[in-house]
Amino acid sequence: MVRDTVKKCPSCGVELEAADAYCWWCGTAVGAQTRDGRAAGTAAEASADRQQGEIAEAAAKKEPEPVLLVPVAKPAPVSEPAGGGGIPWGWVLLVSVTWIILGAIVLGSVSTGYQSQLEEAGRKLSAETARRNQAEAEVSRLQAQVSQVEAQVNQLRGQIEYERQVAQREKKEAIGAALFRAAPVVFGPRSGSLRHNNEDNFIERLDAGVSLRDFVAEATFYNPYDFRQKEWTYGFGFRHTGPNNQYRLVIYSFFGLGRWELMLVRGDPNNPVFEADGDVGSLKLDTGAPNTIRLVADGPTGELYVNGWHIATLDLSGKLQAGDVWVGIGFYNDTEITGRVTLFENFVVRRLP
């Protein structure tokens, strides 16, 4: 339906229907009109005009009275909206309030949803943290188990290695004993004593008077005095081909420990070649205690036994010539007490085939 907007409110400018007698916005009386555009109540208006004319004519005949003019504030013009119509402030206010309410509702919904998401994320994070802590605890437990297993494995390895060494030592001890029994005797057995002379700087010795490269030699030595009083030494010289030209195998006390050393002397006793040394765990250190030393020389290798225990495998490749074999004491300077003796017994030398 098309609106019949044929007039506007003279106060606010709002568009009105032709039949409107008052402005619906500001309430100003505007007068109703008929559909053909004429004002309603024309007869009444004509009568009123006549009355006003008569009054005006009577007033003209009278002298004019002074008129006190009172200034009246002119109402501020109301701007019309673009397009020629007035601004419907009531609708604007209603729409604004509606949008504010809708915005608050939407914002509350968004905030509630965001809070729910945050709470859900917090629960997930807590659950994930708990799972991670549980996993770390499980990893620590497994690592502890692995460490325990590794310790057990290392212990087994150590035990296996020890048993292997024991088996190898026992095997070599059995071989050494068999060789000693099977090899023919070329010297001994001889027993005796070696008198100490700490001033002459010589090795006191007893020669077997043989010329052998491969042999088994054995002798039992008795410790001459307490090792705390002074160190003592005894052992074998072998493959002896002249003065200060031989291998020397020395057994000695060293601050309460048993030690052995192999050296090769080639003319200068003060500048020997030290081949090898080590501990002798089976050596007895008490005064007068017996220690049985057995040496097997077989080509470039040798074996050392002390009191039946295999102590070391020796490299004898530095001197392969046949020579004499002897027992001796005082291998190092200041390892004798003049007047004391070192007893030995069952010094024997056997030839290897």
Please give the C-alpha separations between residue 173 and each of 295, 306, 311, 327, 347, in angstroms, as whole numbers. 11, 10, 10, 22, 19
Name the pLDDT band for 66 (thresholds 50, 70, 90).
low
In a domain, 316, yes or no: yes
The C-alpha R_g of the chain, in whole angstroms, comes to: 66
In a domain, 79, yes or no: no
7 & 133 share domain:
no
pLDDT digits (tens, 9 = 90+) for 185-213: 999 899 999 999 888 888 899 999 999 99
Mean pLDDT of 1-15: 68
Give 248's Cβ-side CA count (13 Å radius).
Answer: 27
Domain harbouring 263, CATH code: 2.60.120.560
Is the model's pLDDT at 290 over the cut of 90? Answer: yes
Instruction: Using a pLDDT cut of 90, give the percent of the chain over it.
Output: 38
Task: Please list the alpha-helical segments (H only) found in the chain.
Answer: 42-61, 89-182
188 & 333 share domain:
yes
- Which domain, by its residues, includes 249? 183-351
In a domain, 73, yes or no: no
The per-residue DSSP string of 246-260 comes to: EEEEEEEEETTEEEE
pLDDT digits (tens, 9 = 90+) for 298-322: 999 999 999 999 999 999 999 999 9
How many helices (H) and strands (E) the chain has is answered by 2, 14
Mean pLDDT of 164-180: 67
Residue 34 has a pLDDT of 44
Is the model's pLDDT at 223 over the cut of 90? Answer: yes
197 & 338 share domain:
yes
More confident residue, 335 or 185: 185
More confident residue, 129 or 30: 129
In a domain, 270, yes or no: yes
More confident residue, 226 or 35: 226
In a domain, 74, yes or no: no
Residue 326 has a pLDDT of 96
153 & 292 share domain:
no
56 & 101 share domain:
no
- Provide the whole-model pTM: 0.54
188 & 321 share domain:
yes
Residue 137 has a pLDDT of 92
Which residue is associated with the tokens 């007869």?
43
Mean pLDDT of 94-108: 83
Lowest mean pLDDT among 42-46, 113-117, 193-197: 42-46
225 & 340 share domain:
yes
Most confident of 4-13, 69-78, 84-93, 294-303: 294-303
24 & 99 share domain:
no
Instruction: Using a pLDDT cut of 70, give the percent of the chain over it.
Output: 77
Last residue of a domain, one of 142, 172, 202: 172
Residue 39 has a pLDDT of 43
Is the model's pLDDT at 40 over the cut of 50? Answer: no
In a domain, 80, yes or no: no
In a domain, 19, yes or no: yes
Q: Which residues contact 56 (CB under 8 A, 6 or more apart)?
A: none
How far is CA 212 from its chain centroid? 62
Name the pLDDT band for 255 (thresholds 50, 70, 90).
confident
Cβ(240)–Cβ(324) below 8 Å: yes
Residue 42 has a pLDDT of 45
Distance between CA 102 and CA 97 in Å, rounded? 9
Q: Side chain identity at 236, as an amino acid letter? A: F
29 & 142 share domain:
no
333 & 197 share domain:
yes
Residue 93 has a pLDDT of 84
Which residue is associated with the tokens 């004593």?
193
200 & 332 share domain:
yes
Last residue of a domain, one of 124, 142, 172: 172
More confident residue, 128 or 349: 349
145 & 213 share domain:
no
Last residue of a domain, one of 138, 172, 206: 172
Name the pLDDT band for 53 (thresholds 50, 70, 90).
low
Is the model's pLDDT at 83 over the cut of 60? Answer: no
In a domain, 83, yes or no: no
Handedness of CA 342, 243, 304, 198 (dihedral sign): positive
Residue 1 has a pLDDT of 47
Residue 297 has a pLDDT of 94
**Count of the separate structural domains present in the chain:** 3
